[in-house]
Structure 1
């Protein structure tokens, strides 16, 4: 089967607060706007097969699990959803519709071999014990159908300790082989794959589309290949008080081609202009470097991106901050392009937000950026101080009021973004951009980046080149 899953961005229930969020960030404009989880993803599932969906929380594995289960049901296959089963009010010894010996054997394979537990009702069990009973009940019901069915279980073994989880996973593999029952499982714990030995696996990622082992990948097997390493996000002496995996975060260069993997998490346009410099944030093990928070290194994944683009011709906030005009000479434009870039895109995967990483990431990205000045124009900066914590200065921007203009007038609002102004030849925002931003009131931020290590290094190279040229003369 092939699965395509996407969600509309508009909320199911509208309120004043959801309207405020959507209007401020341009999320409630086009009813066709959707967040795509997977497109034409090959998934192999059915009786006698274990299909495993893994990945971090929020990466889409539960959504894909439900979609695969719905597809099996649509094809007429029996499906038992373990998470939705009602728990009977009777002792476990009487709770399965099987003979006593068969029921005890099945409960044992699901980690309920202790005789004293057989005397208890599900309501008397712990959460982990109830999970194991639901699994046994689901397998039992799938076996009793006219043809072997499929058991669907989200957050598989998430409430179990790792040793017990491995034991249950091992026995699920044996049950699949012995009974012909299929299993569709989703979990964040990728260590279970060794004991489950799934027939088919789908790996959901923090950024980018999910990977199916039934697909032929065009992307490179080594995602870090060809990237320049920029070092760890935090120095060893700066890890105290940080989140436990802070030592496993590192930086590389990024390019415009990396943006699509993060575009769905950005609240504005999914396109990006001319990229002058880019930085990617990774979580995982670097080649030849041991993980700081895990004895067993895991594959590095991109979890954040910062893209520095060519600056727009004119920004009202820039003009106010530098005291410059909106008119430029060719020499002035050349100088601006050499001295200034716009931090146009900053995205952290939602899992990593709220971990005090945004400001250090932006600061590190700017330190690696070889331009003396970095500016940004963002709505998010009005409510979150991460740019100021990264060394930016905030300069509020108010477009000039014009007589006879309506609130959020296209030309008036375009002045914030460097468009509009007097004269018909002056451009304005596109209709799509204006629709998404007409209720936004972004702030202008500027960072004096002249003391950044990358800028100092670039200056040293320029001086050295000039000295060599002088010697040649």
Structure 2
């Protein structure tokens, strides 16, 4: 026997029409209307699941009573002891978005990543510099953070005109991000109202209330199935080029051997790509992932084995409108299901906060800084340059010059550049330019990932 979900009856208040003014009567006479037959709209009654973990979608044309029903549902939820949060009413301070959360930095970055804002360029921007879709995601992240800070208090998100003003892909992305956030939460549900008819597959509501202009109410309490929004297929360099501006590292990866792309099933639009390339010579996590296999002491043997047995996932790029719904992990999993070699590896600076490689089945390896990076960082701290200052090389270099330690650091930079083949060519560069390169290497702490196919 199917279990019946507890619901609450929500009824909109009956409104007594005001007496028509003379101008109203004159307008009605010219249109041949009988005002006695056009009184107030009848009350709307519907049964909604006002519980944590449930999403209710109210749809219908403008004027059908969606907003009125939404307000009545909010009143019922509040009377049921729930805290009401309207994400669209949250005030956004004119500060970098990573500073908007009352949480440690790591937690703030994870919250943004879960909302589909896992991009370095987003973190440093202010709300006014984001797209409309990104601001909706930010408001969602802030609302969920507010709910999570009071875990013992059940919360209901109430959102009117959901998806209004967004293109199709952005609206579906925000809808999927909301569904994911509610599924991950222990104390939060959501009720949204919209005129759009394209959001149900992404939102997967537990209850859908359809209104029309006659006052009829249709209720569907069957949760939408998680139909696949994306199609994964082989891609080309042209596809990667179309998406490359969306990645913080715009340069094309070297020695590409395969490309996979994702398209939206509904629109056919390009949504993301995974770029597979040959391995680099140096990867500190290899000794942990495959002990003794690629560090035999015979450099030629090691290089031959790496080229024969390893491929690297060099880029995973997802259109911002489609982020936060697991697409990056799907692209990685699609490659791991049919790899070119027994071993696959990757590295991600965002790995600590956005572990999509792990969700795809790869194993994470958190390695300490290399010996050359550790020595350079130690020298910088010795002259008063904290590691966080490396995010702004120009300002950091000015402090170095003011400290009178530029000559000392130049020697350390030459030593640093000469310690690896990838940077040896830069050891004769202008010191400030070399310092800028070193900041990009030594400042980042990427997570390494490995996978073995059986």
Q: What is the TM-score normalised by the length of structure 2?
A: 0.42
